[in-house]
Structure 1
Amino acid sequence: MTRILHVLDHSLPLHSGYTFRTRAILKSLRAAGMEVRGITGARHSEDGPPIEQVEGLTFHRVSHIPSGPPGLREWREIESLRKGIERVAADWRPDILHAHSPALCGMAGLRAARRLGLPFVYEIRAFWEDAAVGNGTGREGSLKYRLTRSLENRVVAGADAVFTICAGLRDDLVARGHDGAKIGLSPNGVDLTLFGDAPPRDGALAESIGIGSGPVIGFIGSFYDYEGLDDLIAAMPLLREHHPTAQLLLVGGGPMDEALRAQAAASSAGEAIVFTGRVPHSEVERYYSLVDVLAYPRKKSRLTDLVTPLKPLEAMAQQRIVAASDVGGHRELIEDGVTGLLFPPDDPPGIATSLARFIDEKYRWPGMREAGRLHVAANHDWARNIDRYRAVYQDLLRKRVCRGRRSRIERVIE
């Protein structure tokens, strides 16, 4: 049975889009007959044992937290994780190493794979230098930005196979001069077995938080600047000119929380904007039940043009109505007027006009719900998407056998 060791930035029991994608990948690979484990480095912030079982999945932890000045600290982090990978490999004997971005994980996996004589797969979920710009912790063109990009280029060049989660990321790598023949797509997906019919509206919850009959525009997630929630708040007074009972429900929190609350308090539509704060993951479905249109007003940037988000897919899997800004990452997921609505980014009046018209055409929503669900089933179901990995794994193992390559695990473990 083929064994795959996944090298990860962080994992369950932490909850994030990153960990949910990892969970889906590992469980789908296991259902396809493979043995899987994960290993995390210093950036997994949850305390736990050196080997942890979560939802039936096994994760090894490298708990060493490196010190030193920038640059040296990251190199020590790579080396610490590399050593941890080799320790796990000595005991568990994986057939393939599969590292997931960021590039720190990728370089640790690449160095370990070369020393162990194992095939190496690298998967890019986002360019982390662009993600840092998007969440306000980095600046485009800075030394750190360029070094991160350079490190990722080295990992991509050295990998036996590469996956990206969307065409935008793949096209960018090809434009940098990387071999497109070894770069495959593994799009964001959902486990459709987790999503059934949408639950009925939770009237008690609606009353307790002040949500009326709607229409209710909602966002459930993290409040980063690139999500464009300030544009959605700015659109509300104009939307209420057309639909006076419209409300905005914002569930979650993050770096922009305080600024968004201040903006809402100063808005003429402030009484129609409801913040809940962060809610337990087990309660999220109750809040989804109150929303008529799930809105994703991401601002236009390199990050949002190149990266596809997970949440619109989850919403469509639940047969929810989706409206999103017309940026590259959304266009890969949503067909305007068929599976949802695309509205202009960075344009509150344009957002308000589009949403008002969308609400007026509510008679089209049942068809959109069905089209969205069918689109996810055909293109983003992990039960099917996992075949992309399996084909690449089999090809790499076949090439390894043909070349007579043998694992060098015993010789490199001290």
Structure 2
Amino acid sequence: MSRILLLSWEYPPLLVGGLGRHVHALAGALAAAGHEVTVVTRQAPGAPPVEHTEGVRVIRAAEDPPAFEVTGGDLLGWALAFNHALTRAALGAIRAATVRGQRFDLVHAHDWLVAHTAVTLRDHLDVPLVATIHATESGRHQGWLPAAHNRTIDDIERWLCAEANRVIVCSEYMRAEVIRLFGVPSERTEVVHNGVDALRWRARPRAVAAARERYAGADGPLVSLAGRLVYEKGVQHLLAAVPPLRERFPGLRVVVAGDGPYRKDLERLAGPAVTFAGFLVGNDLTALMAASDCYVVPSIYEPFGMVALEAAAAGTPVAVSSTGGLAEIVEHGVTGVRFPPGDPHALADAVAGVLADRDHARALASRARQRVVEEFNWPSIAARTAVVYDSARPSVAAKLPSPFSPDQAAELLVASVG
């Protein structure tokens, strides 16, 4: 068993998207399997700076003043300050472990936002570094890196991949992407799918009835979507599909759960049949999914699509765009339906097919939930991750050759300051 130092920029109760839920579930599953897991993350309002919960030691790093304002999507100044605070908190955890006569065996970093801390701790501890790349800056922008900060983030992702002994990705689609973008050798890249706690997504009947009463019309089906409201999530294409869907199902209602920089633009596109519910978590999100007649994932770019599995675990038939990891986890006509990304007419046809045949929809939902239980359970995901940890040890693997000279690395660090 290993002592793992796990780094993440989000962790419950502070959640921004799916990454925080992934890290939380992985940490708990690893701890349940007997590993000693310490998570170092950022401070959440009202949360203690140090706690031991679900078998995991959680250390939350308070942000240093001054506050770095994020404008135009440029996170670099904030990220550098955050990494300083994160490194300080992690070094405190390392000192405490040393006093107890313990030593960490491995550092596991999640995405570029913790890259500087991850490499620093790897060097300080002289242990292997494993990096999970949940998405890439190039992928988020469909291959176009429009500004200097986007190109710097792309470089930091490349640097993190080069420094890591093993790179974990969530799908074969993402494996091909990091190999193509960053030159990571295939033997250093491992696919470990995201997991879902199927029991966690089973809503109480009373909560489902309340969500139905709140969001659905009296005479039509309910369609829902949840996620960060950014362009690549494709919410605009669902909104464009609402008018043709309303022609077929006049009482249809749509709920968009989530928040993000694209929200105001989306609200301007939406008609009266669409409700923006804001950021939902816990039982509220589970109940909304279970109350829906169809759950839609219209993403343009989606490395995995965990939310589709969460909806399936809630017992809801799913319609997803055939892109990225979604095309791997949803089998068309068996565990859900797929449509070409960016095509509102195809989206409307796919959703209409689910809504028009309720027996077929129930069969899709049943098969999808069974697959979630059998293939995407967290104990199995944790076991696969532990195998990657073992393969990253020095006797098995060395880190990748860095694509940067020392001078280039220094320039990258300066650039990331902004």
Structure 2 length normalisation: TM-score? 0.82
Q: Counterpart of 1:323 in structure 2: which amino acid?
A: A
| Structure 2 residue 243 is the aligned partner of structure 1 residue 234 | no
What amino acid is the match of 1:376?
V
Give, in angstroms, the shift of residue 340 of structure 1. 0.4
Shift of 1:247: 2.3
Report the more deviating stretch, 205-214 or 228-237: 205-214
Residue equivalent to 2:163: 158
Report the AA paired with residue 62 of structure 2: S
Q: Is contact 2:107–2:122 with CA below 8 Å preserved after alignment? A: no
* Counterpart in the other structure of 1:147: 152
Partner of 2:328: 332
**Partners of 2:174 and 2:325 within 8 A in 1:** no
C-alpha deviation, 1:71, in angstroms: 6.3
Give yes or no for contact 2:319–2:339 (8 Å, CA) kept in 1: yes
Query: Structure 1 stretch 215-224 or stretch 178-187: which is displaced more?
Result: 215-224
User: AA paired with 1:12?
Assistant: P
Letter paired with 2:87: R
1:321 and 2:317 correspond:
yes
| Equivalent position of 2:8 in the other structure | 8
Alignment-derived partner of residue 284 in structure 1 = 285
Cα distance 1:273–1:30, how it changes in 2: closer, same or farther (>3 A)?
A: same
Aligned to 1:121: 130
**Equivalent residues of 2:48, 2:60 under 8 A apart:** yes
Q: How far apart in 2 are the matches of 1:210 and 1:396? A: 50
- Check whether the contact 1:217–1:295 (CA below 8 A) recurs between aligned residues: yes
**Which structure 2 residues correspond to residues 6-405 of structure 1 after superposition, within 5 A?**
6-15=6-15, 16-41=17-42, 44=43, 46=45, 48-54=47-53, 57-65=56-64, 74-75=79-80, 77-92=82-97, 93-128=102-137, 130-131=139-140, 133=141, 140-175=145-180, 176-196=182-202, 199=205, 202-209=208-215, 211-265=217-271, 270=272, 272-279=273-280, 281-298=282-299, 300=300, 303-304=301-302, 307-397=303-393, 399=395
What letter matches 1:19 in structure 2? Answer: G
Deviations 1:114-133 (CA, angstroms, capped at 9, x unpaired)? 222112111111124644x4
The alignment yields a C-alpha RMSD, in angstroms, of 3.0
Residues 215, 279 of structure 1: CA spacing in aligned structure 2 closer, same or farther, 3 A cutoff? same
Does the residue aligned with 2:291 lie in a helix, a strand or coil? coil
SS of the residue 2:184 aligns to: coil
In structure 2, distance between residues paired with 1:31 and 1:334? 29
Amino acid of the structure 2 residue aligned with 1:161? R
Q: Could you tell me which amino acid in structure 2 is paired with residue 116 of structure 1?
A: L
CA distance in 1, matches of 2:211, 2:125: 55
Describe the shift of the 1:289–1:201 C-alpha distance in structure 2 as closer, same or farther (beyond 3 A): farther
Q: Give, in whole Å, the separation in 1 of the partners of 2:78 and 2:275.
A: 42
Q: Give the distance between the partners of 1:52 and 1:185, measured in 2 at CA.
A: 31
Residues 71 and 247 (structure 1 numbering): CA distance in 2 closer, same or farther, change over 3 Å? closer
Pair 1:146–1:274, CA change in 2 (3 A): closer
Deviates more, 1:115-124 or 1:223-232: 223-232
Distance (whole Å) between structure 1 residues aligned to residue 144 and residue 293 of structure 2: 37
Give the secondary structure class of the aligned counterpart of 2:395. Answer: helix
Please tell me whether the aligned partners of residues 201 and 289 of structure 1 are also in contact (alpha carbons under 8 angstroms). no
Is residue 78–residue 108 contact of structure 1 (8 Å, CA) maintained in 2?
yes
Q: Secondary structure at the match of 1:371?
A: helix
> Following the alignment from structure 2 to structure 1, what is the Cα–Cα distance between the partners of residues 145 and 318?
31
The percent identity for this pair of structures is: 25
* Code of the aligned partner of 1:317: A
For structure 2, the residue ranges without an aligned partner over 5 or more in a row are: 70-74, 398-418
**Contact 1:124 / 1:163 at 8 angstroms: preserved in 2?**
yes
CA deviations over 1:285-326 (Å, ceiling 9, x no partner): 33223210001112x3xx43xx11211011112221000122
Q: 1:215 to 1:115 in 2, by over 3 A?
A: same
Contact 1:11 1:19 in 2 (8 A): yes
Which consecutive residues of structure 1, in runs of 5 or more, have no partner in the other structure?
402-414
Q: What is the one-letter code of the residue matched to 1:365?
A: A
Contact 1:308 1:330 in 2 (8 A): yes
2:256 is aligned with what amino acid?
A: L
TM-score, normalised relative to structure 1: 0.82
Residue 94 to residue 171, structure 1, CA distance change in 2 (3 Å): farther
Q: Mean Cα displacement is larger for which, 389-398 or 327-336?
A: 389-398
Cα offsets for 1:204-236 (capped at 9, x unmatched): 543444522422211233332222222222212
Distance (whole Å) between structure 1 residues aligned to residue 390 and residue 58 of structure 2:
24
